[in-house]
Amino acid sequence: MRLFFYISILVLFAQGNVFAQLDRDYEGIINTSLKSQKYQHKMEENWDVRVNSVYGKAYVKSDEARHWSKIEKGLPLEYDDIIKTDPGANVVLSFDNKGIVRIEGNTEIELSSIEKNDSVLNLIKGSLVAKINHFLDKAFKFKVKTPTAVCAIRGTEFAVEYSSFKDETGVAVFDEGKVGVRPTHSNVEKYGDYETIIGKNTELFLGPKIRRMKKAKLRRMAFHKSKLLKVRKRIKNLRKKWKPLSERGKDKLRKKIIKRNLIRKGLRKKIKERKLKKKLDLIRPKRKKRKHDF
Is a pLDDT exceeding 60 seen at residue 275? yes
Higher pLDDT among residues 124 and 65, named by residue:
124
The amino acid occupying position 260 is R
The yes-or-no verdict on residue 283 having pLDDT over 90 is: no
At residue 134 the predicted structure's pLDDT band, cuts being 50, 70 and 90, is low
Average pLDDT over residues 265-270: 69
108-136: average pLDDT = 91
Query: In this predicted model, what pLDDT tens digit does every residue of 8-49 receive, in sequence order?
Result: 544 444 555 544 443 444 344 334 443 444 334 344 689 999
Q: What is the pLDDT of residue 63?
A: 75
**Ordered alpha helix ranges (H), the chain:** 2-35, 188-191, 225-241, 247-283
> What value does the mean pLDDT of the chain take?
81
Mean pLDDT across 223-251: 89
Collapse the DSSP code of 103 into the 3-class scheme (helix H, G, I; strand E, B; otherwise coil) and give the result.
strand
Residue 252 per-residue DSSP state: H
Residues 6+ apart with CB under 8 A from 191: 183, 206, 212, 213
* Distance from the Cα of residue 37 to its chain's centroid: 20
Query: What pLDDT is recorded for position 245?
Result: 87
Using DSSP's 3-state secondary structure scheme, residue 187 falls into helix
Written as one string, the DSSP assignment of 120-165 is: EEEEEEEEEEEEEPPPSSTT--EEEE-SSEEEEEES-EEEEEEETT
Q: pLDDT higher for 75 or 8? A: 75
**Out of 30-44, 48-62, 245-259, 262-276, which region has the weakest mean confidence (pLDDT)?**
30-44
Tell me what the mean pLDDT of segment 131-152 comes to: 83
Read off the amino acid at residue 62.
S
CA distances from 215 to 17, 205, 279 (A): 65, 8, 60
Q: Convert the pLDDT of each residue in 164-216 to its tens digit.
A: 999 999 999 999 999 999 999 888 888 888 899 999 999 999 988 888 888 99
Condensed to tens digits (0 to 9), the pLDDT of residues 46-71 reads 999 999 999 999 999 987 777 888 99
Residue 131's closest CA among 160, 107, 109, 169?
160
Q: What is the pTM of this model?
A: 0.75
Question: How many whole angstroms separate alpha carbon 88 and alpha carbon 106?
Answer: 7
What pLDDT does 2 receive?
52
Query: Is residue 290 very low, low, confident or very high in pLDDT (cuts 50, 70, 90)?
Result: low
Task: Give how far Cα 251 sits from Cα of 48, 58, 75, 247, Å.
Answer: 11, 21, 10, 6
